[in-house]
């Protein structure tokens, strides 16, 4: 599925981009180029070949690690992507960690305590569902950067430059991205935990005199873990999309802003490269989820 997804997405975007009026040869030459120059450059870039051959050529070089060069800056697409990957990965991993930890915690507490915690969780769920991450980001900037001046409003500090600066630059965007995920994960954890806690084996665990912490945190959570992992995986796909907008709001030089700029400037090789890398990231996340799932569920492993 993963490989197929990468192939399909890259092929679709390739075909779509090839449909675009005007091509890279024209863009490179600019209005001054003659028709002869255009034809020569077109041959040189392989743009005169049939579409499937162009795609095959692109795929071959891409598999060798060469994603082509930017039409606008002339820089290699691969190097642009690799210089921006750490920003996006910091955001994605940070948000996944924050929302998984807080979401699972809230979910467990509300499955055990019910009552008030339940209603608070429902409220958070509604807010998380209704407030888009980019708007939450804007409000966070208005409060914590403009008003209180606690944290930087925009930008990104590489971890190699300053660890504390890196953390400070991540707090607000990660919060903005996590809000919705926390709510979804917490709700899912609560519902699954309630089902697990009603099961025969948990009843047997109570009958064995095990302590509540063992029952909730060890037996309950590991059983609920599988469902929580699945929902986290689904959320991660949305999270990658979210980084695109949140990077724009916080002016962070990540893959998302690279993609947005390339889209705005019609830099098709860059668009194509970023799309493939994004899809590969999704495949990687799903693989990771599958592996964790197998680690949590012995029945997947042995059957």
Partner 1 sequence: MSAGFLRRLLRRPVAIACLVYLVLVVLVAIIAPIVLPNVATQNAGNLLEVRLGPSLHHLLGTDDLGRDVLQRLLVGTRVTMLAVAEATVVSLVIGVSFGLVAGFFGGWIDSVVTWLGDLTFSMPWIVVLLVVLAVFPQDLTATMVVFGVLLSPGVMRVVRSAVLAIANELYVVAARVSGLTRTYIITRHVLPRIAGAIIVQAALVAAGALIGESALAVLNLIVVAPAPSWGGMIADGVNQIVLDPWLIWPPGLAVIFTILALGLLSNAARDASSERWSRPAHIVKRRTRRGGSAGQNGIGRLGSESEALLTVEGVTVTVGTPPTTNLIEDVGFAIHPGEAVAIVGESGCGKSVTAMSILGLLPGTVEITSGHVVFDGLDLAACGENQLRQIRGSDIALIPQEPIVSLDPVFRVGTQIADVVRRHEHCSRRAAKRRALELLERVRLPDPKRIARRYPHELSGGMAQRTAIARALAGSPRLLIADEPTTALDVTVQAEILDLLREIQTSQQMAILLVTHDWGVVADLCQRAVVMYAGQVIEHADVSSVFREPLHPYTAALLAADPHHASEDELLPTIPGSVPIPGRWPAGCHFHPRCQYAAADCRKAAVPVISPRNDHETRCIHHEDLLATA
Q: Which of residues 102-161 bind partner 1 (CB under 8 A)?
A: 126, 129-132, 134-135, 138-139, 141-142, 146-147, 153
Structural element, H or E, at residue 299: helix 298-302
Distance, CA of 157 to CA of 168 (rounded, Å): 8
Q: Which is nearer to partner 1, 164 or 171 (CB)?
A: 171
* Binding residue count for partner 1, defined by CB under 8 A: 76
Q: Which residues contact 236 (CB under 8 A, 6 or more apart)?
A: 92, 96, 282, 285, 286, 289
Q: Which is nearer to partner 1, 40 or 296 (CB)?
A: 296
Q: Which is nearer to partner 1, 103 or 242 (CB)?
A: 242
Q: Which is nearer to partner 1, 98 or 136 (CB)?
A: 136
User: Of 88, 12, 5, which Cα lies nearest the Cα of 271?
Assistant: 12
Select the span of 6-14, 25-33, 39-47, 82-90 touching partner 1 (CB under 8 A). Answer: 6-14
To the nearest whole angstrom, how small is the minimum distance from the Cβ of residue 79 to partner 1? 20
Q: Which is nearer to partner 1, 174 or 274 (CB)?
A: 274
To the nearest whole angstrom, how small is the minimum distance from the Cβ of residue 202 to partner 1? 7
Select the span of 10-18, 51-59, 77-85, 89-97 touching partner 1 (CB under 8 A). Answer: 10-18
Q: Which of 25, 81, 186, 240 binds partner 1 (CB under 8 A)?
A: 240
Q: What is the DSSP string of 146-161?
A: IIS--S-SS----TTT
Q: Kindly state the DSSP code that residue 69 receives in the 8-state scheme.
A: B
Q: Which is nearer to partner 1, 39 or 200 (CB)?
A: 200
93 is a contact residue toward partner 1 (CB under 8 A): no
Interior/surface letters 151-182, b for 16+ CB within 10 angstroms, e for the rest: bbbeebbeeeeeeeebeebbbbbbbbbbbbbb
State how far the alpha carbon of 34 is from the alpha carbons of 23, 25, 39, 45, 233, in Å: 15, 11, 9, 16, 52
Distance, CA of 175 to CA of 182 (rounded, Å): 10
Token pair for residue 89?
């990965």
Q: In the window 16-75, what residues touch partner 1 (CB under 8 A)?
A: 16-17, 19-20
To the nearest whole angstrom, how small is the minimum distance from the Cβ of residue 97 to partner 1? 20
User: Of 246, 261, 30, 36, which Cα lies nearest the Cα of 141?
Assistant: 246
What's the distance, CA 164 to chain centroid?
Answer: 23
To the nearest whole angstrom, how small is the minimum distance from the Cβ of residue 214 to partner 1? 6
Q: In the window 162-221, what residues touch partner 1 (CB under 8 A)?
A: 194-195, 197-212, 214, 218-219
Residue that the structure tokens 């600019």 belong to? 30
Q: Which is nearer to partner 1, 31 or 209 (CB)?
A: 209
Q: Which is nearer to partner 1, 163 or 300 (CB)?
A: 300
User: Of 55, 57, 79, which Cα lies nearest the Cα of 69?
Assistant: 79
96 is a contact residue toward partner 1 (CB under 8 A): no
To the nearest whole angstrom, how small is the minimum distance from the Cβ of residue 290 to partner 1? 12
296 is a contact residue toward partner 1 (CB under 8 A): yes
Q: In the window 249-288, what residues touch partner 1 (CB under 8 A)?
A: 249, 259-260, 262-264, 266, 268, 271, 274-275, 278-279, 282, 286
Token pair for residue 201?
């084996």
Residue that the structure tokens 């699972």 belong to? 104
């Amino acid at each position: 599925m993963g490989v197929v997804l990468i192939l399909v997405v890259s092929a679709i975007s390739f075909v779509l981009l090839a449909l675009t009026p005007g091509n890279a040869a024209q863009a490179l030459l600019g209005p001054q180029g003659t028709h002869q120059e255009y034809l020569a450059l077109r041959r040189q870039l392989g743009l005169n070949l049939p579409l499937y051959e162009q795609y095959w050529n692109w795929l071959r070089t891409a598999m060798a690690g060469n994603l082509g060069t930017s039409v606008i800056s002339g820089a290699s697409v691969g190097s642009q992507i690799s210089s921006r990957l750490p920003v996006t990965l910091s955001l994605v991993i940070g948000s996944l960690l924050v929302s998984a930890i807080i979401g699972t915690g809230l979910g467990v507490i509300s499955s055990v305590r019910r009552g008030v915690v339940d209603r608070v969780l429902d409220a958070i769920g509604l807010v998380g569902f209704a407030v888009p991450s980019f708007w939450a980001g804007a409000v966070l900037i208005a409060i914590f950067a403009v008003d209180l001046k606690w944290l930087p409003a925009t930008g990104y500090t590489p971890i190699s430059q300053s660890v504390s600066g890196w953390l400070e630059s991540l707090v607000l965007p990660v919060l903005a991205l996590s809000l919705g995920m926390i709510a979804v994960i917490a709700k899912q954890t609560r519902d699954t935990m309630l089902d697990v806690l009603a099961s025969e084996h948990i009843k047997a665990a109570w009958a064995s005199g095990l302590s509540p912490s063992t029952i909730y945190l060890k037996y309950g959570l590991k059983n609920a873990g599988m469902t929580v992992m699945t929902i986290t995986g689904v959320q991660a796909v949305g999270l990658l999309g979210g980084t695109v907008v949140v990077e724009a709001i916080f002016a962070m030089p990540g893959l998302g802003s690279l993609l947005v700029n390339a889209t705005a400037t019609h830099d098709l090789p860059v668009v194509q490269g970023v799309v493939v890398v994004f899809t590969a990231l999704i495949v990687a996340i799903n693989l990771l989820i599958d592996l964790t799932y197998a680690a949590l569920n012995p029945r997947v492993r042995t059957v």
